[in-house]
Amino acid sequence: MPLEESNSPNRQEDCAHRGSLPGALLVMISSFLAQLLFVIGEVLVQGVLPCTRQVDATESEPKSFIFMSEDALINPDKLLVLIHGNGVVRAGQWARRLIINEDLDSGTQIPYIKRAIGEGYGVIVLNPNENYIEVEKTKAQIQLSSDCSDEPAEKRERKDKIQKETKKRRDFYEKYRNPQKEKETMQIYIRDNGSPEEHAIYVWDHFISQSAAENVFFVAHSYGGLAFVELMIQREAEVKNKVTAVALTDSVHNVWHQEVGKTIREWMRENCCNWVSSSEPLDTSVESMLPDCPRVSAGTERHELTSWKSFPSVFKFFSEAVKAKNSLVKPTPMRRSNRIKYEEF
């Protein structure tokens, strides 16, 4: 089985980012995130990536994880998939800034998870930023990386001297900035999960597409929206067949740069809605130059708050999408206003 049950998942933080913060703030972040993982762990279990159902999965290779409700793969009705944005955030988080400065409700996915479970959804929480592990380099690897050069010996010696002096200064600063990271490390990428886009496709192939749910819903924030669009490009027929509605929150996708085809753009116009940062009231239509999904105001001008501020509207949108699917009438996720404000993407 690909699941490992855990009531209090103990996942390591990204030390490089943690170490760049003052000690008191670091303790505060760690406390908040520990509380977050504990709360999520009360209602969700972990799925290991690469999943152990793969015949070639090994115990020793680098692994990541996702969170799932216990009924995620067997719920016959509804499944909610949550994707956060890019950067230092991890599974279950929208924005660390909000977690630190405001509260868990606005900064994490806990309200979405609790409401979804309360309304009978299965839940899958993606973890698209955990793409590699860091391991300490051996002396042989360090020496090999410095020796692999075709430059003349004299030039290489000067370059090595400069690099050593630079490294000495950097190491001194690094020890002050991050006492935990004194060794030279290398990154080993997690198989088939080396980027947010790869991660979304992998979880789709091995979990979401295998679920029993008749109606799959996505909430994708910021770069998570780009990852979803890439998923659509790679798995268009499957997504159209299984996904009922998609709520984007200030998504950074771009149908031109991602070379999204006409049939996908048409599907997005009918089945997606993007709650964008705007000074307009919540759900007010916001015009766009891009020919994809409708854009409406999230009721805030702060990018990181768009998922929280649009929270009630997202679930209303999903409910209307199910009713519309059953009656073969598409939902109307926004209200029109004469206060529509033009806003560039």
Percent of the residues in the chain that have a pLDDT greater than 90, as a whole number: 52
Does the pLDDT at position 336 exceed 80? no
CB burial class (10 A; 0-12, 13-18, 19+) of residue 24?
exposed
Three-class SS of residue 50? coil
- Both tokens of residue 67? 């969170």
8 Å CB contact between 274 and 300: no
Tens of pLDDT, residue by residue over 71-116, are 999 999 999 999 999 988 889 999 989 988 898 899 999 999 999 9
Q: How many CB atoms lie within 10 A of CB 6?
A: 16
Report helix angle 311-327 to 110-118, nearest 10: 40
pLDDT number for residue 47: 76
**How much of the chain is helix, strand and coil, in % rounded to 5?**
40, 20, 40
- pLDDT band for position 140 (cuts 50, 70, 90): low
CB burial class (10 A; 0-12, 13-18, 19+) of residue 143?
exposed
Nearest to 84 by CA among 184, 259, 221, 213: 221
CA-CA-CA-CA torsion sign (134, 139, 141, 147) = positive
Range with the poorest average pLDDT among 11-20, 194-203, 277-286: 11-20
pLDDT number for residue 164: 67
Tens of pLDDT, residue by residue over 216-272, are 999 999 999 999 999 999 999 999 999 999 999 999 999 999 999 999 999 999 999
For residues 239 and 17, give the distance between their C-alpha atoms in angstroms, rounded to a whole number. 35
Average confidence (pLDDT) over 178-201: 82
Tens of pLDDT, residue by residue over 304-317, are 999 999 999 999 99
Average pLDDT, the chain: 80
For residues 213 and 121, give the distance between their C-alpha atoms in angstroms, rounded to a whole number. 9
Which of the residues are catalytic? 222
Q: How many CB atoms lie within 10 A of CB 294?
A: 18
For residues 125 and 244, give the distance between their C-alpha atoms in angstroms, rounded to a whole number. 18
Percent of the residues in the chain that have a pLDDT greater than 70, as a whole number: 67
- pLDDT band for position 144 (cuts 50, 70, 90): low
Tens of pLDDT, residue by residue over 228-240, are 999 999 999 999 9
Residue scoring higher pLDDT (29 or 106):
106
For residues 113 and 92, give the distance between their C-alpha atoms in angstroms, rounded to a whole number. 9
Range with the poorest average pLDDT among 2-6, 103-107, 196-200: 2-6
Q: Cα–Cα distances in Å, from 270 out to 171, 273, 295, 299?
A: 54, 9, 12, 22
297: part of which helix (H) or strand (E)? strand 295-297
